[in-house]
Amino acid sequence: MKPDYHQFSLLIAIACVLIAPVAMAQEKSASQPNIVIIWGDDIGQSDISAYTRGLMGFQTPNIDRVANEGLLFTDYYAEQSCTAGRSAFITGQSVFRTGLSKVGMPGANEGLSEKDPTIAEILKPMGYTTGQFGKNHLGDRDEMLPTNHGFDEFYGNLYHLNAEEEPENRDYPKDPA
């Protein structure tokens, strides 16, 4: 089966830099590393050539370079939805503890609780400046926003559903003209 490069590019563009706690230029010791986390929905391990050493899947030279210069995670237990996966990673807790086990919807009461610590809040006392860029999917009420959970900066969308809708599908809205 031939890889769908359009879909993969779309996923990378929208979701790859989902959460990137980034250590920005502030007075830090040389021993304190920068931290960049690239998170993507629906991307299998064989979709990143750093994991397959180029034997199958896509060629991802830029991600490969980041992996070669830093750290490549080899073990992670994926959750069944993007909301559950993000809540588990950002808080370091089980989705049963965060209560975010399924895809959240815009305007819902469910979202990241102020009681749940986040990776950004843990990094703050260590002198890190943090940012999250891309899809958040952990609630859209004010108290749930990334900037209210330790992130200094957030640029992205709070929800991104139905990203794979295609104009060629019969249920895609038609141009009335």
Tell me the fold of 5-155.
Alkaline Phosphatase, subunit A (3.40.720)
Which one, of 132, 153, 141, 152, lies nearest residue 39 by Cα?
A: 132
Q: Which residues have CB under 8 Å from 45's CB, separation 6+? A: 51, 52
Helix-then-strand count for the chain, H and E: 6, 2
pLDDT (tens, 9 = 90+) of the chain, 177 residues, equals 555 544 444 444 444 333 333 333 444 455 788 888 888 777 777 888 888 877 777 888 998 998 899 888 777 777 878 889 999 999 999 999 999 988 877 788 889 998 999 999 999 999 999 999 988 889 888 899 999 999 999 998 887 765 555 566 676 666 665
Active site residue 16: no
Strand ranges inside 9-164, DSSP E: 131-133, 153-155
What are the sequence ranges of the domains in the chain?
Answer: 5-155
Predicted model pTM: 0.68
Rounded distance, CA 124 to CA 93, Å?
A: 19
6, 82, 149, 160: the active-site residue: 82
Whether 160 sits among the annotated catalytic residues: the reply is: no
Catalytic residue among 6, 16, 137, 149: 137
> Coil, strand, or helix at residue 5?
helix
Task: Provide the strand spans (E) within the chain.
Answer: 131-133, 153-155
